[in-house]
A = this chain, B = another copy of it.
Amino acid sequence: MTTRLNVSLEGRGYQILVGSGLLHGIGRFVRSVTNAPKIAVVTNPVVEKLFAKIVSASLKNSGFNAIPVRVPDGERHKSLRTMEKIYAGLLKGGFERSDAVLALGGGVVGDMAGFAAATFMRGIDFVQVPTTLLAQVDSSVGGKTGVDFLGGKNMVGAFYQPKLVVCDLDAIKTLPKREYLCGLAEVVKYGAIKDAEFFEWLENFRKDILKGDVAALERMVKISCATKARVVENDEREAGERALLNFGHTFAHGIETALNFKKLKHGEAVAIGMVVAGRLSARLGLLDKKSAERLEKLIASFGLPTALPRGLTPAKVWAGMAHDKKFLSGKTRFVVIDRIGRAFVLEGITKQDVLSACG
């Protein structure tokens, strides 16, 4: 069964498809949103080996001239240099404004393919086919695209909405466990900031989720995507509500910066960041201790880290955060929760409170 979720954005609305086996019929789905004669399948060697064949075959069946554009695997290649390779691939393939780009892979592939689609000839059609849990529930929905620059994450990019997002649950089953758990961190976030009922469901079904039970997966991806879609609809360009999606992320970026983006994966840093954000919320008297503990317990039950790695001091995390663009105009700015399922942005929290919450 395929679920269709609508993202309503004036003149640029699109659907998110969630289901099993969708990659086999991808051509038909993509054809329903674009008349492009050519489509670039942007992917990395790891994903290519797994899915490129079935995706290309299906695209060809639907009349697309599907042209592979390979990018190297890994966040360190999310750069303007790699963008130039994508642009060169499109030019070499004779791409025109009426052609399209399809991202087949995780967040890095999606961010770069999306930025290429946003900027090649000032914008061509774009389809997201996220193959990791993290990309399905987070980066593929909402139109954020871009690359890192001079050590700054996503310093150069664009808001550019896809014409379609296709989440094939079968792809998730091919993920290494650690990658899967990283996606779960973002899933927990949606419960924590927006949906207490979903949070409770995650607590109750955590065994099914860890086993990768298809029904559980489907519900989890569906609700996560729907939640993100609602937030993006209300605030496409991150002027307000969308900032709530940064719950745990300001700390996470501080942790990642302090570690020079080594040791921990993004989802792991987010897991720790959410525990810290929950503790900060409790420390400020906004959240009862029991709820903060529930959050920590759920994260731990998924096998995700909940404390700073050895040797990383709160002071180092603070220094890392000070480089973050979310430290708007020098003011500290954190997303906190006052109960499971409700978040808001708080400004001007003291360094002392932040350090204590980290510790």
Please tell me if A37 contacts chain B, counting CB pairs below 8 Å.
Answer: yes
One digit per residue, 1 when the CB lies within 8 angstroms of any chain B CB and 0 when it does not, for chain A 32-67 equals 000001000000000000000000000000000000
Contact A159 B122 (CB under 8 A): yes
Q: Give the distance in Å from the alpha carbon of A69 to the alpha carbon of B89 in the complex.
A: 31
Contact B149 A87 (CB under 8 A): yes
Beta-carbon nearest neighbor of A237 in chain B:
B123
Find chain B residues with CB under 8 A from A120 CB: 155-156
Q: Is A284 located at the chain interface by the 8 A CB criterion? A: no
Which residues of chain A in 281-328 are interfacial with respect to chain B, using CB atoms and an 8 Å cutoff? 325, 328
Residue of B nearest to A121 (CB): B325
Which of the segments A90-98, A194-202, A257-265 contacts the partner chain? A90-98
Contact between chains at B150 and A122 (CB < 8 Å): no
- Give Cα distance in the complex from A149 to B150, angstroms: 21
A119 to chain B: which residues have CB within 8 Å? 119, 146, 156-158
Measured between beta carbons, the chain B residues less than 8 angstroms from A83 are: 80
Minimum CB–CB distance from A39 to chain B (whole Å) comes to 14
Chain B residues whose C-beta falls within 8 Å of the C-beta of A149 in the assembled complex: 84, 87, 91
| Chain B CB within 8 A of A329 CB | yes
Choose among B91, B154, B159 the residue that contacts A152 (Cβ–Cβ < 8 A): B91
Which of chain A's residues 106-152 have a Cβ closer than 8 Å to chain B? 118-123, 144-146, 149-150, 152
Whether A349 sits at the interface, judged by CB under 8 Å, is: no
Residue in B96, B122, B146, B159 whose beta carbon sits within 8 Å of that of A157 in the complex: B122
Residues of B within 8 A of A157 (CB): 119, 121-122
Contact B150 A96, beta carbon cutoff 8 Å: no
CA distance A154 to B97 in the complex (A): 12
Instruction: Verify if A88 is at the interface (C-beta below 8 Å from B).
Output: yes
Contacts of A121 in B (CB 8 A): 154-155, 157, 325
Q: 8 closest A-B pairs (Cβ-Cβ)?
A: A122-B157, A119-B156, A122-B159, A91-B150, A122-B158, A87-B149, A119-B158, A87-B156
Given contacts A10-B10, A87-B156, 14 further A-B contacts (CB under 8 A): A80-B83, A96-B325, A96-B328, A96-B329, A97-B325, A98-B328, A118-B158, A119-B156, A119-B157, A119-B158, A120-B155, A121-B325, A122-B145, A123-B159
